[in-house]
Structure 1
Amino acid sequence: MKGIVFTEFMEMVESKFGLETADTIIELSDLPSQGIYTSVGTYDFNEMLSLITNLSKEIKLPVDELIYTFGLYLFTSLGKAHPEVIQSYNSPLGLLYSIEDHIHVHVKKLYPDAELPTFKILEKTDSSISLIYSSSRGLYRLAHGLMQKAFEHFNGSATIAYELLKEDGTEVKFDIVQNG
């Protein structure tokens, strides 16, 4: 997993839960990297699982909720780091429709060895989109948070429903309907 995900996660933990909590989860997690991350590095996905699990225990919030919260946070961080990507769009549905063909192409240029989820568009209208999220990591709640924040970024809102097509969350159908 790319280091930028780790550095942003740790920044979120520090800003929302404090430096002491960040230090505690690093200590509890027994990490090969010792919790020292660079945005361009690559780290074992199990380190992220360990950090999230220990954060969940420490602050008594469900792992799924923390992953969703991180998705909300990550959209803003990535938008600041790479504003040119989001500026290419004038609507959240346009942005979501272009994940595979534009956004992930851009990410691959920056991080050639990044393992990205895939998003297969099933149907798109002027006010809705249905797609299938696929990833061996099953971080569909992260994708959910990113999608939610995309609508907020464009001063809109949406109803986002999801259905697990595989119980482990590695394949999930999202139905997104833009409000008003």
Structure 2
Amino acid sequence: MKGIVFTEFMEMVEEQYGLEIADAIIEKAQLPSQGVYTAVGTYDFNEMLALLQGLEEEVDVPMNDLVYTFGHYLFNGLASAHPEIIQNYRTPIGLLHAIEDHIHVHVQKLYPDAQLPTFKMLERTENSLSMVYSSSRGLYRLAHGLIEKTFERFGQRAKVSFSLLKADGTEVKFDIVDHG
């Protein structure tokens, strides 16, 4: 998993829960990296799981809710690091529709070893989009948060619903309706 995800996660933890909680989850997790991350580095996904589990225990918030909140937070970090990507789109539906064919292609050029989820587009209208998220990591709630934040970035609101196609969350259908 790319380091930018780790650095953004640790920043979110510090901002929302404080440095003591951030230090506690790093210490408790006994990470190979010792919790030292760089945005361009690559780290084992199991470290993220350990950090999430530690945070869940420390703050008594379900892990899926933490992952969803992190999706909202991560959007801002990614948008700041790569504003040129968002500037290419006029609507949130347009941006989301381009995830697989444009945005992830751009990300792979920057980070050739990145293991990205896939998004299969099922149906698109001017105001709606249906797509299937697939990832062995099952972080569909991260995608959920990112999708909602995409609409906020454009000053719009959307109804985002999802249904698990696989019980472990590795394949999830998202239905998104733009409410302007």
Report the TM-score when normalising by structure 2.
0.99
The aligned residue for residue 46 of structure 1 is 46
1: CA distance between counterparts of 2:84 and 2:2?
20
> Residue by residue, what CA displacement relative to the aligned partner does 1:32-86 show, whole Å, maximum 9, x if unpaired?
1110111111111000000001101101100000000000000011101110000
Q: Which runs of 5+ in 1 are unaligned?
A: none
The SS at the match of 1:130 is strand
> Residue by residue, what CA displacement relative to the aligned partner does 1:121-163 show, whole Å, maximum 9, x if unpaired?
0000000000000000000000000000000000000000000
- Following superposition of structure 1 onto structure 2, how do residues 49-64 of structure 1 map, counting pairs within 5 Å? 49-64=49-64
One-letter identity of the residue aligned with 1:44:
D
The aligned residue for residue 108 of structure 2 is 108
Is 2:179 the partner of 1:172? Answer: no
Report the TM-score when normalising by structure 1.
0.99
The aligned residue for residue 83 of structure 1 is 83
The SS at the match of 2:104 is helix
2: CA distance between counterparts of 1:136 and 1:167?
12
The aligned residue for residue 152 of structure 1 is 152
One-letter identity of the residue aligned with 2:161:
A
One-letter identity of the residue aligned with 1:30:
Q
Identity %: 67
The Cα RMSD (Å) is 0.6
The aligned residue for residue 122 of structure 2 is 122
Deviation at 1:173, TM superposition (A): 0.3
What is the total number of aligned residue pairs between the two structures? 180
